[in-house]
Amino acid sequence: MHAWTIEHGTLWALDTADGLPPPCAARVPAEFGPLLHGELGELASAMNLPDPGLIQRRLEGNRRCFRLCIDRQIAAYGWVTRGAECVGELERTFHLHDDEAYIWDCATLPAWRGQRCYSALLSQMIYELAQHDTRRIWIGASLHNRASWSGFANAGFERVIDLTYCRLYRLNLLWFHRMTTARAPLVAAAYRILLNAHERRFGRLVLGLRR
């Protein structure tokens, strides 16, 4: 572990109980669905992994992977978790309720960028999760990743909070900036999933001492 780290992020959400946003389609014909067993090797290549072992281990947990295919090739992919998920960039675990899901580790392959594949993938994932009694869906990105923001907004997500995470040796700090348009229940839920047991919140500031 490095002596210090800093990360600027943003967290977005969608409440399916409020009604689903209009579907968002890719600019080219595309087929959406869960990752198939025969596609493990292709996804490993898309993720720059030496073999499909990591993908298989992920799938053995509380995670699923969805992909968008164009001409029978994976053009975009995204992972989703129900339950707890470790978020390495923020050095913490997100703790979700049973009716919540967290979308993460998404990408569009270079050949298909600019075709709204990411927006279409997220839109389809929203509809898929809503069919399985998911009340709230979360997604996040680096504060500098404006391309992902466009995908979030196109798919219907609402920006809830921006945050800065800092750690110096064992001492860590979280600073929240609430969006003025964000509804109070979503902001409260964001605090809940972000805070870990070793941390204490003081308004928009969170302090913790890692063991």
CA–CA distances in Å: residue 164 to residues 143, 178, 209: 9, 12, 16
pLDDT digits (tens, 9 = 90+) for 93-109: 999 999 999 999 999 99
Which helix (H) or strand (E) element contains residue 126?
helix 117-130
Judge whether residue 2 has pLDDT over 90. Answer: no
Question: Where is average pLDDT lowest: 18-22, 128-132, 207-211?
Answer: 207-211
| Amino acid making up residue 131 | Q
CB 90 within 8 A of CB 7: yes
pLDDT at position 84: 94
Paired with 158 in beta bridges are: 13
Judge whether residue 210 has pLDDT over 90. Answer: no
pTM equals 0.96
Domains assigned to the chain:
4-209 (3.40.630.30)
Give the pairing type, strands 84-87 and 199-202: unpaired
Mean pLDDT, range 6-18, rounded to an integer: 97
Angle at 58 between CA 170 and CA 63, to 5 degrees: 95
CB 43 within 8 A of CB 55: yes
Mean pLDDT, range 154-175, rounded to an integer: 97
Mean pLDDT, range 68-81, rounded to an integer: 98
Report the chain's C-alpha Rg in angstroms.
17
Q: Which two tokens stand for residue 84?
A: 């707890």
